[in-house]
Amino acid sequence: MSQTSDQMELREVDIRKHYAAVAEMLMAVDHTPRLAQARLSLEVPERSPDVAAMGRRRFRSTTPGLVTRSTARAEGVRLLDRIAETDDDDPLTSPAQAACAHALRRALSIALAIGDAYAEQTALVELKRANLEGRLPPAQGDAFTELLAAQSLVVLYTFANATASLLASRAGEQSVEVGSVDEVLTDNAALALHGALWELDQKLGQFATDEATLIATLLAYCEQLMEKVAARATTAGRLAPFLQASWRVEADDFVVQGFTPARKAKGSTLTMTFKKPHEVVGNHIAKYQAMKLAKMVMAYDFDRRLNPFAELGGFIFTFMGDGKPGTGKTTLIQMMAGLVNDYCQVAGYPFRYQNLSTDSIDSYQGKSGQNAKAFINNVLDPQVIGFGTIDDIDQLAGKRGDRQSSAGQLEITAVLMESFAGANTVVRGNCTFGMFSNYPENVDDALRQRAGARFLVDGPQTRDDYIDILHLLMGKNHAIPVGDHDLFRAQEIKKAVAASFAGHARPHEPGLLNVYDRVSSQIGALDTIAKMGTYLKAIQEADERFTGRAIKNITDAVKVRAMDFELPDEWMEDPDLFMFKDYDTKKAMIEDLRQPITVDMVIQEINRYADSEFRYADKSDEVAIDTMVRDFGRQEEAKRRYLAEKG
């Protein structure tokens, strides 16, 4: 990845000058915990004098409240010894253990170098010198304390960020829940790192039982430390010089950019069966938009960390695909994941696909939400091209107010709502999330409305569709003639999509059609902003759930239609033609293809979106009514049998 003009180089000599001091810290450092509670006690086994030199420390876990070693005393932390204890007394250091030790030394040195750079950008260097010489003016005391606290936060975050980046390539499938990080001290940078190393030692002693859990524990601790420090930084002062600057460590391909994770990209290995577009029969609009979106996401610029489509409008960050069972939702996922995977292989970009499954629902309080947040963060990682899916979302995300929704399901709902359209949601354009359901009426209304686009997955519809899908699924082990039919002609996407969009010139759902006809008869053709606004208000009067968020989703869909073009296939086949261009060039190339917004586009998108809401509402009401009818019927039958037995 090339260095951008606003990045400063963090010189290698400035990093390596800290190596000796950092090595001493890793071998032994004393720390008295202030905020965290010790979970380990020192147990020294008896050894004969002959083997005393070969012995290692042994720690045992203790339960809270039963710590035999007082937390009021300084505790010796020997992190290198701790790492060496994760391989069943093998006297030789393994490659994984060595990698962890080197990563920690490198990360600590980078953090201290960044701390030095921060001090030089502020008055901290001079204030430290004055304090050492005993000439610090009392009036400067508060500023000195604030700068030391800010430098501590900078150093802590950079240490965790660099460690996570350096060890990312060694991350496996193993995951560890390390709990909260509490020993976050801000008196000065050195004490802050001592506290971090003490707590890391505690976590490793509790959870690192082998090399896999060693790396998983290190990464989990770094994630928790970054989150804690970033939260603390929101209320801390004197951080502007750090937030406004950007440093690059060339040797590690590591960028320090404020309190933003810079973990190296790690793509996922996909084992799913990919589908080609012609293998998705019917579902013309859904297929067309998925194909467009697969190319849109490839316009993402890794240096700028932004997609021109996200800036110009028209990028689909979240979408919902709904339809009856067996209409092709899974096939659509396989097609889109396959397209993005192929494009990423051409460009050499890391691609990460993840699905949030029912395994994420956990009986432990808070764990379901943590699983959902981890899923979101993995897909949002700005270092990868991401595609996240939530299949059968009606089973995963609970509907608020529904007594049948478990606590875990409601946790997932809360995380998805906050992540998809929350106060801190940032759409970079490197990823997209698809929610799929056979029963979208069972999805929480507010969560469903966070789907910026709607894909009606209705499967094959016409005679030609059914012939095509029969031929496709029959395979090649037969000699049955096709007959009078031009195979897959009906699946020519542009022709089919044009017809599908035109079909939304009038609503499909009876309830919405009544509103449309009534408004049209009163004010005539809906050919002005005022008339279309009148139509929207009439829809809201018929369905109070049709709020301002619905209008935003409609206008976003209209902007997508303005981008109603596919990036040329050759741009995806030769990355030099588009994907490797700089951000401004890619943006200009996209702008040249953009089309003007028309009245027909707006009316069609209003009807498409409102149709889906009316369809969901009607189904939801009918399901509720049917349930009540069955309940009343069971009650009547129970009463009849009861009276018959009594009689």
Query: Is 299:567 a contact under the CB 8 Å cutoff?
Result: yes
Query: Is 329:578 a contact under the CB 8 Å cutoff?
Result: no
The listed range with the strongest mean pLDDT (444-458, 586-600, 630-644) is 586-600
Whose CA is closest to 458, among 362, 565, 325, 619? Answer: 325
pLDDT at 54: 38
Q: Is 540 exposed, middle or buried (0-12, 13-18, 19+ CB in 10 A)?
A: middle
Tens digits of residue pLDDT in 100-131: 999 999 999 999 999 999 999 999 999 999 99
Q: Is the pLDDT of residue 418 over 80?
A: yes
Q: Is the pLDDT of residue 254 over 70?
A: yes
Task: Give the dihedral of Cα atoms 337, 341, 342, 343; nearest 10 deg.
Answer: 100
Instruction: State the average pLDDT over residues 196-207.
Output: 93
Phi, psi (rounded to 5 degrees) for 214: -60, -50
Give the C-alpha distances (Å, rounded to integers) separating 589 from 76, 315, 582, 619, 632. 60, 16, 11, 44, 63
Query: Is 118:131 a contact under the CB 8 Å cutoff?
Result: no
| Portion of the chain with pLDDT greater than 70, in percent | 87
Tell me the C-alpha distance between 69 and 406, whole Å: 41
Tens digits of residue pLDDT in 534-568: 999 999 998 887 888 888 888 888 887 777 677 88
Q: Is the pLDDT of residue 16 over 90?
A: yes
Q: Give the sign of the dihedral formed by CA 155, CA 187, CA 144, CA 146.
A: positive
Give the C-alpha distances (Å, rounded to integers) separating 390 from 351, 354, 433, 507. 17, 9, 8, 28
pLDDT at 46: 42
Query: Is 372:415 a contact under the CB 8 Å cutoff?
Result: yes
The larger pLDDT score, comparing residue 265 to residue 456, is at 456
For residue 194, give the amino acid letter. Answer: H
Domain range 283-618, CATH architecture: 3-Layer(aba) Sandwich (3.40)
Give the C-alpha distances (Å, rounded to integers) separating 484 from 229, 336, 526. 68, 31, 43
Tell me the C-alpha distance between 404 and 238, whole Å: 49
- In this structure, how many other beta carbons lie within 10 angstroms of the beta carbon of residue 33? 19
Tell me the C-alpha distance between 77 and 196, whole Å: 11
pTM for this one? 0.57
Give the C-alpha distances (Å, rounded to integers) separating 288 from 229, 334, 395, 469, 561. 43, 14, 27, 18, 11
- pLDDT band for position 414 (cuts 50, 70, 90): very high
Tens digits of residue pLDDT in 367-390: 888 888 888 988 988 888 999 999
Query: Is 119:125 a contact under the CB 8 Å cutoff?
Result: yes
pLDDT at 65: 35
Tell me the C-alpha distance between 480 and 467, whole Å: 13
How many Cα atoms are found within 13 Å in the side-chain-facing hemisphere of 559? Answer: 18
Q: Is the pLDDT of residue 47 over 60?
A: no
Give me the chain's average pLDDT, please: 83
DSSP classification of residue 2: P
For residue 57, give both structure tokens: 């420390």
Residue with tokens 């093998």: 90
Question: DSSP 3-state assignment of 268?
Answer: coil
| Portion of the chain with pLDDT greater than 90, in percent | 36
pLDDT at 199: 95
Tens digits of residue pLDDT in 477-486: 888 888 888 7
DSSP assignments along 365-378, one per residue: TTHHHHHHHHHHHH
Tens digits of residue pLDDT in 165-191: 999 878 776 778 888 899 999 999 999
Q: Is the pLDDT of residue 471 over 50?
A: yes
For residue 505, give both structure tokens: 């010139």
pLDDT at 87: 77
pLDDT at 504: 82
pLDDT at 191: 95
- In this structure, how many other beta carbons lie within 10 angstroms of the beta carbon of residue 146? 17
Instruction: State the average pLDDT over residues 338-364.
Output: 87
Q: Give the sign of the dihedral formed by CA 77, CA 83, CA 84, CA 85.
A: positive
- pLDDT band for position 619 (cuts 50, 70, 90): low
Q: What does the domain layout of the chain look like in residue ranges?
A: 8-45+71-256, 283-618
H/E stretch holding 390 reads strand 385-390
Scanning 133-250, the segments in alpha helix (DSSP H) are 141-167, 189-207, 211-233, 240-243
- pLDDT band for position 62 (cuts 50, 70, 90): very low
Q: Give the sign of the dihedral formed by CA 14, CA 16, CA 17, CA 21.
A: positive
- pLDDT band for position 434 (cuts 50, 70, 90): very high
Q: Is the pLDDT of residue 269 over 70?
A: no
pLDDT at 69: 38
Task: Give the dihedral of Cα atoms 582, 587, 589, 595; nearest 10 deg.
Answer: 170
Tens digits of residue pLDDT in 494-512: 556 666 677 788 988 888 9
Tens digits of residue pLDDT in 270-322: 556 677 777 777 777 788 888 889 999 999 998 888 999 988 877 889 998 88
Tens digits of residue pLDDT in 135-164: 888 888 899 999 999 999 999 999 999 999
Residues in the chain: 647
pLDDT at 180: 87
pLDDT at 617: 63
pLDDT at 1: 42
H/E stretch holding 604 reads helix 599-646
Give the C-alpha distances (Å, rounded to integers) separating 22 from 159, 226, 372, 419, 441. 12, 20, 36, 38, 58
DSSP assignments along 394-454, one per residue: HHHSPPTT-TTS-HHHHHHHHHHHHHHHSTT----SSEEEEEEES-GGGS-HHHHTT-SEE
Minimum mean pLDDT among 122-136, 227-241, 461-475: which range? Answer: 461-475
Q: Is the pLDDT of residue 253 over 70?
A: yes
